[in-house]
């Protein structure tokens, strides 16, 4: 089995050496754990796709440790992008910009753009610095499965196929970075994530923001993703009706506790706080899939701020929706 390493300096240097030798290291970021390899090593990148069983058409995010390294990887940096870098880097925002030739085509799936992000997690930053190269990293889960927020999640999905797993404890944000395609004139949201789009709107002023995602621009955005092994359905209906149906073979995943005593529910936050909901989401899905439920029934969260990212992940994780008719669940697959 792959070793889970504590994040001592010695271990970080050992992990960085593995990256320099075309190896793979799973490491914590503030969003989720990444499966990293040197962005300039085709050998390492091929391994990333193989280990994850990820289709080659789905490009990777390249992680850097200095804002200046955007220039190393991108041929143009529009002023809109500069504003975003100033406001949100380091942090959970990924910018898609025209790539320089030296970024291998395999990293970008042949696109002429590259996705770049500077994470804020100190371990991620140190690993990149010690490796002396940008690190290409998708989330360190098997393709299509729930993203990992713990070192153990990486181990259970990817087992022996990485050189090291650096253990930074639970990740803080819990959902992946926001991905935006940026030109001088507009910003196109490719994936809602850790930086709410409302926050981006505040700093970029009058630049047009397209919230409708484009399949063409983001080839990796498959409809079904992030799925737990137990089927998940989004609840459409009111809570009073739901709590009347007391079935212990279904897990109720809720944003906050419900004021009822006699049924088991799984609240993502004790106070209904969206940051806490996002931080707990993937961990709770992984816990529930290990229990013997027939299905997970998820109550929607409010779609504002981080709530956009949480709902996006829940919808992609879902098999369909569920409603109640004649006091019975009716499941509708999508």
Vertex 213, ends 66 and 34: CA angle to 5°?
Answer: 40
Q: How far is the CB of 190 from ligand TXA (least distance, A)?
A: 5
> How far is Cα 226 from Cα 281, in angstroms, rounded to an integer?
11
Which residues, 92 to 131, sit near Mg ion by CB under 5 A?
none
| Strand partners of residue 191 | 179
Which residues, 203 to 242, sit near ligand TXA by CB under 6 A?
217-221
Which residues, 244 to 303, sit near ligand TXA by CB under 6 A?
none
CB 317 within 8 A of CB 225: yes
31 is an interface residue for ligand TXA by CB under 6 A: yes
Report the residue number, 147 or 254, with the smaller CB distance to Mg ion: 147
Q: Which does 61 bind (CB under 5 to 8 A by kind): ligand TXA, Mg ion, none?
A: ligand TXA
Name residues whose C-beta falls within 8 Å of residue 76's C-beta, 6 or more positions apart in sequence.
97, 98
For residue 145, what are its two tokens?
């499965």
DSSP string, 171-200: -SS-SPPEEEEE-SSEEEEEE--SS-HHHH
Which residues, 37 to 96, sit near ligand TXA by CB under 6 A?
58-61, 92, 94, 96
Report the residue number, 37 or 267, with the smaller CB distance to ligand TXA: 37
DSSP string, 277-289: HHHHHHHHHHHHH
Selection from 202, 138, 144 nearest residue 176 by Cα: 138
Q: Pick the stretch among 51-59, 67-75, 136-144, 313-321 that binds Mg ion (CB under 5 A).
A: 136-144
> How far is Cα 222 from Cα 313, in angstroms, rounded to an integer?
11
Report the residue number, 135 or 296, with the smaller CB distance to ligand TXA: 135
148 is an interface residue for ligand TXA by CB under 6 A: no
Site map (CB under 6 A) of ligand TXA, residues 106-135, x = contact:
--x--x-xxx-x-x----------------
Q: Select from 80, 139, 318, 321 the one that contacts Mg ion (CB under 5 A).
A: 139
For residue 219, what are its two tokens?
């080839």
In the block, residue with structure tokens 């063409």: 216
In the block, residue with structure tokens 């149906």: 245
Q: Select from 37, 78, 90, 138 the one that contacts ligand TXA (CB under 6 A).
A: 138
Q: Which does 29 bind (CB under 5 to 8 A by kind): ligand TXA, Mg ion, none?
A: ligand TXA
Where do contacts with ligand TXA occur on this chain (CB under 6 A)?
Answer: 29, 31-32, 34, 58-61, 92, 94, 96, 108, 111, 113-115, 117, 119, 137-139, 176-177, 179, 190-191, 217-221
């Amino acid at each position: 089995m792959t070793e889970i390493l504590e994040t001592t300096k010695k271990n970080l240097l050992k992990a960085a050496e593995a990256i320099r030798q075309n190896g793979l290291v799973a490491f914590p970021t503030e969003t989720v754990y990444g499966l990293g390899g040197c962005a300039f090593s085709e050998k390492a990148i091929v391994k990333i796709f193989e280990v994850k069983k990820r289709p080659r058409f789905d490009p990777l995010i390249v992680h850097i440790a200095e804002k200046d390294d955007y220039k190393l990887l991108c041929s143009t940096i529009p002023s809109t992008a500069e504003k975003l870098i100033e406001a949100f880097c380091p942090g959970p925002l990924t910018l898609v910009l025209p790539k320089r030739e030296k970024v291998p085509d395999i990293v970008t799936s042949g696109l002429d753009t590259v996705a770049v992000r500077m994470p804020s997690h100190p371990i991620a930053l140190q690993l990149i610095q010690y490796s002396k190269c940008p690190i290409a990293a998708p989330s360190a889960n098997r393709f299509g499965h729930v993203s990992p927020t713990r070192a153990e999640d990486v181990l259970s999905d990817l087992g022996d196929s990485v050189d090291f797993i650096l253990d930074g404890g639970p990740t803080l944000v819990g959902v992946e970075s926001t991905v935006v395609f940026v030109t001088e004139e507009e910003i196109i949201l490719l994936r809602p994530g850790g930086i709410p789009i409302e926050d981006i709107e505040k700093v970029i002023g009058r630049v047009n923001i397209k919230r409708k995602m484009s399949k063409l621009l983001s080839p990796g955005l498959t409809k079904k993703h992030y799925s737990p092994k137990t089927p998940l359905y989004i609840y459409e209906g009111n809570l009073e009706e739901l709590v009347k149906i007391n079935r212990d073979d279904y897990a109720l995943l809720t944003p906050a506790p419900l004021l009822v005593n006699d049924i088991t529910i799984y609240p993502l936050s004790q106070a209904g706080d969206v940051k806490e909901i996002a931080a707990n989401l993937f961990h709770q899905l992984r816990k529930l899939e290990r229990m013997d439920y027939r299905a997970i029934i998820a109550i929607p969260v409010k779609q504002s701020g981080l709530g956009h990212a949480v709902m996006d992940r829940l919808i992609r994780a879902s098999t369909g929706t569920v409603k109640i008719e004649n006091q019975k669940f009716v499941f509708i697959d999508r």
